Amino acid sequence: MADPRFESVASVRDELQSVDYLADEGIAGVVYLADRLQKPILVEGPAGTGKTELAKSVARMIGARLIRLQCYEGLDESKALYEWNYKKQLLRIQAQRVVEEGGSGNWTDIEEDIFSNEFLLTRPLLEAIRAEDPVVLLIDEVDRVEVETEALLLEILSDYQVSIPELGTVEATQIPLVFLTSNNTRELSEALKRRCLYLHLDYPTLEREKEIVLTRIPEVSDHLADQIVRIVRSIRSIELKKHPSVSETLDWARTLVLLGIENVDATQAKDTLHILLKYQSDILKASKELTVNGAV
């Protein structure tokens, strides 16, 4: 087993704070255990609650390279794991036939040659397994792939290895920290969940979101940060197509600072709602709410 990266849960929390990610005991504890148990972390929760940012922050914290697999519908082995460089293989076969007398050669020798590392195109999963430097592997929005595609991940998540029929099994030279994120758009398979530690990230509390705003945007005053998070919290209580994420809260805070606004009234909040919300129907609902209740 590799040497542990973290001394304690408290050290994880403190080190994450040093890279401007404010983790509570639950988040820090799961990251600590993932390192000690050498297990991946499945992070679920609404979009924009800091799931992806957690993986990025851990990578910065330990000085590791971040390798990211962005999942999408239709993702297959050739884009996630590896594929063979068919054009280069074809050129190799043609070149061999030219030099062979009579245009024929020993196919076994050619086959061994073209199915070698020289002709292998590595994709994010295989790249993370073969990496010799410290790596954090982020498998982002895993709930977007089909159930069948999840099977590609199981060998890596349990044994940290990849089986390539033509080459054999490629085992990890060092165990990467692995984060899988999900926005809960579909239920993930039991096989995948069984291999991971589980972490649920929801929208932060009022106090924690204020702390995030003050940490990430030092130009924001304590009073303005308090107003911002209270207004965002009230907007999240409305039934919307998409609630404002933490990153959109930060964007709104930056916008208000740039506009020189120190005290947000209802008109200023409504005029800048397009920074927080991305659907016109949501903007209209929130505008109505702000008109009725006024800004904080």
pLDDT tens-place string over residues 19-33: 999 999 999 999 999
Which CATH number covers residue 195? Answer: 3.40.50.300
Q: Are residues 51 and 106 in the same domain?
A: no
User: Considering the domain boundaries, does residue 87 fall inside one?
Assistant: yes
User: What pLDDT, on a 0 to 100 scale, did the predictor assign at position 274?
Assistant: 95
Which tens digit of pLDDT belongs to each residue from 122-152? Answer: 899 999 999 999 999 999 999 999 888 888 8
User: What pLDDT, on a 0 to 100 scale, did the predictor assign at position 94?
Assistant: 73
- Looking at the structure of the chain, the number of domains it has is 3
Q: Are residues 235 and 103 in the same domain?
A: no
User: What pLDDT, on a 0 to 100 scale, did the predictor assign at position 289?
Assistant: 85
Residues of the chain under the 50 pLDDT cut:
none
User: Considering the domain boundaries, does residue 147 fall inside one?
Assistant: yes
- Boundary (domain end) residue, out of 154, 178, 200: 200
Which of 126, 127, 123, 128 lies closest to 178 in space, CA to CA?
Answer: 128
For residues 46 and 243, the answer to whether their CB atoms sit within 8 Å is yes
User: What pLDDT, on a 0 to 100 scale, did the predictor assign at position 39?
Assistant: 95
Residue linked to tokens 């082995």: 77
User: What pLDDT, on a 0 to 100 scale, did the predictor assign at position 111?
Assistant: 58
Burial class of residue 130 in the structure, from the number of CB atoms within 10 Å of its CB (0-12 exposed, 13-18 middle, 19+ buried): middle
Q: Which helix (H) or strand (E) holds 138?
A: strand 135-140
User: What pLDDT, on a 0 to 100 scale, did the predictor assign at position 192?
Assistant: 94
Burial 240-265 (b: 16+ CB within 10 A, else e): beebbbbebbbbbbbebbeeebeebe
Which of 30, 23, 28 lies closest to 204 in space, CA to CA?
Answer: 23
Which of 293, 51, 268 lies closest to 181 in space, CA to CA?
Answer: 51
Q: Are residues 214 and 251 in the same domain?
A: yes
For residues 22 and 211, the answer to whether their CB atoms sit within 8 Å is yes
Q: Are residues 169 and 232 in the same domain?
A: no
Domain extent, residue 107, equals 82-118
User: What pLDDT, on a 0 to 100 scale, did the predictor assign at position 294?
Assistant: 55
Q: Are residues 286 and 190 in the same domain?
A: no
- Convert 206-241 into a string of H (helix), E (strand) and C (coil): HHHHHHHHHHHCCCCCHHHHHHHHHHHHHHHCCCCC
User: Considering the domain boundaries, does residue 1 fall inside one?
Assistant: no
